[in-house]
Structure 1
Amino acid sequence: MAYATRARRTSAVFAAVSLGLVALTACDGDTEEGSAAPSASASTPAAGDTGSATPSTADPGDGGTEGGDTTGGSSSGGGGGTASPSEPGSDDDQDGGVGMCETTDLAYVVTVASKPVNHALLTATNKGSDPCLLPANELVLTIPTLDGAAGHMGPDGKDWILKTGESAYAGILFSHADTAGGKSADKVEIALTASESPTTVPIGNGPVTVNDPEVTTFFGTAEDALTY
């Protein structure tokens, strides 16, 4: 009887161990399945998800904007694109691209004025077919019988466009009342700039006595030219 009792106990022990192993195996299987599930869900984004995996699959050279390409944005947006060359402008805001007047472009008349005394009026008319820019302050006037050019009197003027047929005026003072002596002259020499050859102009109603000549800049009216 004692042997039979020990045999039954031994069977019971083996049965309990077997049940424990089965339970342990079942628990291990549940654990493996539970740990594998999050990995599967993380690698498969839900529909409509734009997660971090998407940019890594974009081709940087495909020209699209999804991969952060800025090349297309700068060329189409206008903010960073290269500006087209500007249209050619005029020489400056004043002359509008018109060429400078040359001494030979104008016709000149010098006439002794009734007043002020010892004055004459120089009239310069554009005889060309195109307008030109008149250098107002560079007028050179000389008297053939005297050395040197006439001095400047009156305010400085501003270069301005002289249209075809339009005239500009300058005042000439031949002699000062408080200056003694002088030489007789019946013509003057005129150049618009010192770099040009002068043209000879007869003095209407001359001759005149010249001792210390002066000349103004060019003005738009005879009255302004004879003010000084």
Structure 2
Amino acid sequence: MAYAARSRRTTAALAALSLGVLALTACNGDADNDTSAPGSSASPSVKAPGKGTATPSPTRSSDGSGDSGSPSDSPSAPAPSKSGSGSGSEDGQDGGVGMCETTDLSYKVTVASRPVNHALLAASNKGSDPCLLSANELVITIPGLDGAAEHMGPSGKDWILEVGESAYAGILFSRADTAGGKSADKVEVALTPSESPTTVPINDGPVTVNDGQVTSFFGTAEDALTY
């Protein structure tokens, strides 16, 4: 009987031990399942762009080709500017500028200290508009002498004489190697042979005249008295 009781206790102990082993195995299995489940670990998520996220715009290439291709993005060519009319045309009609007439100018003749036997003619535009001055048609006549003074020196160039601007010509009254002559205290000036002359007194005159010559018009007194 003692053997039978011992056997029952041993059997009961083995049964309890087996239950414990099974329970431990089940716990370990649950732990393994928890570790390997994909839903248990947090995976990184990509944030979708929303209203607060700035989306970079495509970069435009340097040659002007871009995604938009709109005409307003390309530089616009400047509008052509109107060309102005030049001054100094030989026919005197450029920009509505007419030829200077003898009555358009005021004149002053003054005896020059150098060179000797010379006088300086200054002609100034006294009008209200510029005019085209004919440089080479100046006519100088000395009362009491036959004919007009001959031209000396190089030809000048016609140019626009602005209001208040002056042009200059040199007048030779007498050659040093010519004796005698006529005394004169005035000259007659016309811008062209077809116009009536105006009489101009000679400042610091009178002068002795025996061979009248005149230059073309120049822009400075120094150039006019070079010849």
TM-score range, shorter chain: 0.5 to 0.7
CA distance in structure 2 between the partners assigned to 1:149 and 1:178 by the alignment: 21
In structure 2, the partner of 1:117 is: 116
In structure 2, the partner of 1:19 is: none
Aligned residues: 141
CA distance in structure 2 between the partners assigned to 1:156 and 1:204 by the alignment: 26
CA distance in structure 2 between the partners assigned to 1:92 and 1:200 by the alignment: 28
Q: Secondary structure at the match of 1:104?
A: helix
In structure 2, the partner of 1:208 is: 207
In structure 2, the partner of 1:176 is: 175
- Shift in Å at residue 90 of structure 1? 8.2
- Shift in Å at residue 92 of structure 1? 7.8
In structure 2, the partner of 1:159 is: 158
CA distance in structure 2 between the partners assigned to 1:123 and 1:160 by the alignment: 16
CA contact (8 A) 2:88 2:160 kept: no
Q: Secondary structure at the match of 1:223?
A: helix
With over 3 angstroms needed to count, the CA separation of the structure-2 counterparts of 1:119 and 1:92, relative to structure 1, is closer
After TM superposition, which residue ranges in structure 1, 4 or more long, deviate above 3 angstroms?
A: 89-95
Q: How does 1:11-26 map to 2 (within 5 A)?
A: none
TM-score relative to the length of structure 1: 0.59
CA contact (8 A) 2:138 2:191 kept: yes
1:145 aligns with 2:153: no
Q: Secondary structure at the match of 1:146?
A: coil
Q: Secondary structure at the match of 2:164?
A: coil
Structure having the higher Rg: 2
Q: Secondary structure at the match of 1:121?
A: strand
CA distance in structure 2 between the partners assigned to 1:222 and 1:91 by the alignment: 23
- Shift in Å at residue 191 of structure 1? 0.1
The Cα offsets for residues 126-176 of structure 1, whole Å up to 9 and x where unpaired, read as 000000000100000000111100010000011110000000000000000
User: Which has the larger helix fraction?
Assistant: 1
Counterpart of 1:145 in structure 2: which amino acid?
G
CA distance in structure 1 between the partners assigned to 2:199 and 2:88 by the alignment: 33
Q: Secondary structure at the match of 1:116?
A: coil
Tell me how large the CA RMSD over aligned residues is.
1.9
CA distance in structure 2 between the partners assigned to 1:150 and 1:203 by the alignment: 16
In structure 1, the partner of 2:43 is: none
In structure 1, the partner of 2:36 is: none
Identity %: 80
In structure 1, the partner of 2:225 is: 226
CA distance in structure 1 between the partners assigned to 2:137 and 2:197 by the alignment: 13
Counterpart of 1:124 in structure 2: which amino acid?
A
Counterpart of 1:151 in structure 2: which amino acid?
E
- Shift in Å at residue 93 of structure 1? 4.5
| Unmatched runs of 5 consecutive residues or more in structure 2 | 1-84
CA distance in structure 2 between the partners assigned to 1:172 and 1:93 by the alignment: 27
CA distance in structure 1 between the partners assigned to 2:88 and 2:216 by the alignment: 22
CA distance in structure 2 between the partners assigned to 1:189 and 1:167 by the alignment: 18
TM-score relative to the length of structure 2: 0.60
